[in-house]
Amino acid sequence: MEEKVIVCDKLTKRFGYFIATNEISFEVNKGEIFGFLGANGAGKTTAMRMLCGLSAPTSGSATIAGYDVYSETEKIKRNIGYMSQKFSLYENLTVLENVEFFGGIYGLTDQEIKEKTEELASKLGLKSEMKKLVGSLPLGWKQKLSFSVAVLHEPKIVFLDEPTGGVDPVTRRQFWDLIYEAADRRITVFVTTHYMDEAEYCNRISIMVDGRIEVLDTPANLKKQFQANSMDEVFYQLARSAKRADS
Amino acid sequence: MEAVVVENITKTYGKGKVLAVDNVSFSVNKGELFGLIGPDGAGKTSIFRMLTTLLLPDEGSATVDGFNVVTDFKQIRSSVGYMPGKFSLYQDLTIEENLNFFATVFGTTVTENYHLIQDIYVQIEPFKKRRAGKLSGGMKQKLALCCALIHKPTTLFLDEPTTGVDPVSRKEFWEMLRRLKKQGITIIVSTPYMDEAALCDRIALIQNGKILSIDTPDNVTRSYPANLYAIKANEMYRLLKSLETFPDRLNSYAFGEYAHATFRSEKLDTAHLEHFLTDKGLSGIEIKRIPATIEDSFIKLLN
Amino acid sequence: MKQFIAFVRKEFFHVLRDRRTLLILFGMPIAQILIFGFALTNEVKDSEILVVDYAKDDASQQIITEIAASRYFNIRNAALTHKEMLSTFQKGKIKAVIVFPASFNRYLLHNNQAQIQVITDATDINTANMITNYLTAIIKDYQAKINENLLVPYQIIPETRMLYNPQLKGAHGFVPGVMALVLMLVSVMMTAISIVREKEMGTMEILLVSPFKPVLVIFAKAFPYLILSLINVTAILFLSVFALDLPVKGSLLLLFLESTLFIITCLALGIFISIKTDSQQIAMLISLMGMLLPTMMFSGFLFPIENMPVPLQVISNIIPSKWFYIIVKSIMIKGLGIGSLWKETLILAGMTLFLLTVSLKSFKIRLQ
């Protein structure tokens, strides 16, 4: 029996009459790369916020790394990492200062931070850049660095919100190498993306339409089910049926 | 007839410290749909801003509709349409108000050029009393395009119009562009999404301020200099790791459900590779030769 | 012209649809006028005053009657020893004690000079100051009255600060002050923020890449705030006349013309800030720290400039609101005309011209 790190049951979030997330239920296994897809406005961000303990659900239940999303949000936050395209790192701090800061926030000891810093510098090939301001690095490096910082404290789950937007194809793949490595270390990866080829790299994916999870399966099974050649087609067929996307 | 001619333009920021655009030259024909394809920070926005007279090039020259971007900026400003990357309209004005405002600022009316935007506008018209801030990403994008089109520009500059937009809205947006092209408008569009490149008449691949290649999408992929193979197995990460240790390998990377790879030898011994991968504990192995995509070409050019 | 109108219309939409902006625009001036105006007059109103009259003669009685006639003081008569007086103060019931020495009238008649002791509770220094001022003004009034048909003037207490405010209006200095403050806030901060917002949203790029003249963009952004500021001036005057009972003594037209001049000064400042900054927060901070604080500190509205150290007095001269404050005070309270104010007006006009030139010079038709 696989260990479940995310268990969602009929998780719902309403804003007034608007149901942003409508009774979504799914489970994610430990060490799995889970793709969380959906059109703009389908409810992905709302769902992700609830899972990170940032927003209380209206109804339903969910446990993240074994902790309840209603009552144990502090424990959840200690056991997850988060990275989004919008917020990555402090641009006016150096790479080293950023790593030390985030390490400190997650309660790593000085010794651990030192080890992690060295490991990160050699893995990303950033040894000579450690004293440079993050703002001066190219976007691709920032994103890779930001991911490494998000998993610095070896969280059980790392949430990635469109981590590779606007990144060049080579760096994008290097980024996915980092994701694979993390999954290899049994860190669960929960990722949203607009690149459909990246959906293929996930073990399983869910596609949200109008606040509901419409399908959830491996990429291969989904393509079979929709008789499609690519995930792009699967997505297109599903999202076309959305009523809410443009209202 | 050329709509845009760019000759050796260079742009630096921070008193010459940051090189954003490095000696770039290209030209765009009238009525062409031209794509600037490259990641964030490649220099696309700087090029757009120089062509729309918002920035002065450090060196080199450029013309739009025959007008010089430095000296004839007034003529250019009245004839081009521009949709900046972070453009988000006036959130507190309704669809209708936004459109009317931009029409008036450009010295025209909505009715005068309605035929140009009709196709797009009818899709958002039912919500015309709704404020722009309350629209979905796809609708905002349609409205922004209407606003950029309303004065019947000869050339349309769209800076990353599809960034952050979901695949469905992206597809619809490109369909709109193809219809606009039929109206004879020259369109220059930038995007970080490689798959959109195939929809352009011609593309320029750009990275670090330099143009790597300019040609039709077909020619770009046809001139891929090696034999490209797609390889599939039951486990992607292991497959990639294994390919890296294959002696004959030149380059390999993930590409959707397949891994793409090039090899040193002229003709790949597929049986040998399959054997090699099976030895590594992989199953369900499939190896086939494939034509390159724009993304493959880009990766090749970057290496 | 049509473009300009469309632009101005759009600008009004922005203002009218944002509840916070509306609140700052119209709620704030009203609140400030009422707070400053009423809170300060109420403090002094109905103050308990203890009169210790050792003289009990014509002069002392007349002065006491004058004081009692003012609606600001409630008079209680008592004969107290020094000790008793102190304990009354400590109870905090009374705000001031007036002591008439014995033979007050005789001193006045024979020596042409007499003394009255005014003792105030200085724990609240503002109230104490104000009460002292009011009382001395009343005494001076009396002095002027008895001096009318005399060759050698009697002297009681020389005090000139209340010269132009015989009705003892507490709000007199605040209305011009609030006016300067509100205009600063609306014209500098709101204009700066609204232009910078266009930069942040990316709409500025579109407007620059349009046939609309770039300088007109700036004017069109500033114009609505000129109108809104004038509405604010009207509202403040309306309140001061009808709620605070403080009429405008001088020419209303002149007051509006001078206000328009000052508003243009502020708009020029706002435009300058917006050109030099790229984020709304920074624009707001600069407006608040750089414009509002100096207005409060150096215009003479809260702290008298005469009491400041000389370097600060010199600095106060470069603050436009100082000159505007002087002008409004002179027109509203003293009823002076342009004949006496041309110097201040010229200084303000000079500043306006300078700021406008600087901001339009630094405005670029491109992004960098």
Residue B102 to residues B143, B240, B245, C10, Cα–Cα distance (Å)? 11, 51, 58, 10
Terminal alpha carbon distance of chain B: 35
Q: Is C140 helix (H, G, I), strand (E, B) or coil?
A: helix
A147 in a structural domain = no
- The answer on C248 and C112 residing in a single domain is no
- The answer on C266 and C339 residing in a single domain is yes
Total residues found in chain A within this entry: 247
- The answer on C351 and C269 residing in a single domain is yes
A189 in a structural domain = yes
Label residue A16 by pLDDT band (50, 70, 90).
confident
Terminal alpha carbon distance of chain A: 43
Query: How far apart are the CA of C200 and the nearest CA of chain B, in angstroms?
Result: 9
- Mean pLDDT for chain A overall: 88
Where does a domain end: C123, C146, C165? C165
Q: Which residues pair with A19 in a beta bridge?
A: A14
- The answer on C79 and C29 residing in a single domain is no
Rounded Cα distance between A6 and A62, Å, is: 7
Name every residue whose Cβ is closer than 8 Å to that of residue A57 and which is 6 or more positions away in sequence: A11, A12, A13, A21, A50, A69, A70
Crossing angle of helices B137-149 and B167-182, in 10° steps, is: 20
- The answer on C185 and C311 residing in a single domain is yes
C61 in a structural domain = yes
- The answer on C271 and C133 residing in a single domain is no
- Residues in chain B closer than 8 A to A176 (CB atoms): 254
Total residues found in chain C within this entry: 368
Q: Is the pLDDT of residue C332 over 70?
A: yes
C123 in a structural domain = yes
A38, closest residue in chain B (CA to CA): B166
- Residues in chain C closer than 8 A to B97 (CB atoms): 10, 13
Q: Is the pLDDT of residue C160 over 50?
A: no
Q: Are B128 and B95 in contact (CB under 8 A)?
A: yes
**What's the number of domains chain A is made of?**
1
Of C2, C17, C366, the CB nearest to B104: C2
A101 in a structural domain = no
A111 in a structural domain = no
pLDDT tens string A183-233: 999 999 999 988 888 999 999 999 998 899 999 999 999 999 999 888 888
Q: By the CB < 8 Å criterion, does B242 face chain C?
A: no
- The answer on C147 and C90 residing in a single domain is yes
CA atoms within 13 A on the CB side of C85: 19
- The answer on C250 and C288 residing in a single domain is yes
Rounded Cα distance between C76 and C91, Å, is: 15
- Residues in chain C closer than 8 A to B89 (CB atoms): 201, 203
- The answer on C154 and C23 residing in a single domain is no
Where does a domain end: C165, C199, C217? C165
If one looks up domain B2-222 in CATH, what number appears? 3.40.50.300
If one looks up domain B228-302 in CATH, what number appears? 3.30.70.100
A115 in a structural domain = no
Label residue A180 by pLDDT band (50, 70, 90).
very high
A217 in a structural domain = yes
pLDDT tens string B149-161: 999 999 999 999 9
- The answer on C235 and C118 residing in a single domain is no
Mean pLDDT in residue range B232-236: 89
Which of these, B80, B83, B116, B84, lies nearest to B4 by C-alpha position?
A: B80
- The answer on C181 and C154 residing in a single domain is no
Query: What are the extents of the domains in chain B?
Result: 2-222, 228-302
Left, alpha or beta for C95 (phi > 0: left; psi -120 to 50: alpha)? Answer: alpha
Mutate to test the interface with A, among B210, B257, B283, B290 (most CBs of A within 10 A): B257
Q: Is the pLDDT of residue C161 over 50?
A: no
H helix runs in chain A, sequence order: 44-51, 73-79, 95-105, 110-124, 139-150, 169-184, 196-199, 219-225, 231-240
Label residue C101 by pLDDT band (50, 70, 90).
confident
pLDDT tens string C115-147: 777 777 666 556 667 777 777 778 777 777 777
pLDDT tens string B249-272: 999 999 988 999 999 988 888 999
pTM for the predicted model, two decimal places:
0.80
CATH of the domain at A163: 3.40.50.300
Q: Is the pLDDT of residue B293 over 90?
A: yes
Where does a domain end: C137, C165, C193? C165
Question: pLDDT at position A148, please?
Answer: 92
Question: pLDDT at position C156, please?
Answer: 58
Pairing of strands A4-15, B186-191: unpaired
Long-range contacts of B241-246 (CB under 8 A, 24+ apart): B242/B276, B242/B277, B242/B280, B242/B282, B243/B277, B246/B273, B246/B276
Neighbour tally for C135: CB within 10 Å: 27
Question: pLDDT at position C168, please?
Answer: 42
Q: Is the pLDDT of residue C292 over 50?
A: yes
Label residue A53 by pLDDT band (50, 70, 90).
confident
Q: Residue B271 phi/psi, 5° resolution?
A: -60, -40
Rounded Cα distance between B192 and B211, Å, is: 14
Among B209-223, C237-251, C347-361, the minimum mean pLDDT is found in C237-251
CATH of the domain at C108: 3.40.1710.10
DSSP letter for C364, please: -
Q: Which domain holds residue A17?
A: 4-89+156-240
* Residue numbers of B between 105 and 144 with CB closer than 8 Å to C: 105-107, 131
Rounded Cα distance between C295 and A71, Å, is: 50
Q: Which domain holds residue C309?
A: 2-39+171-362
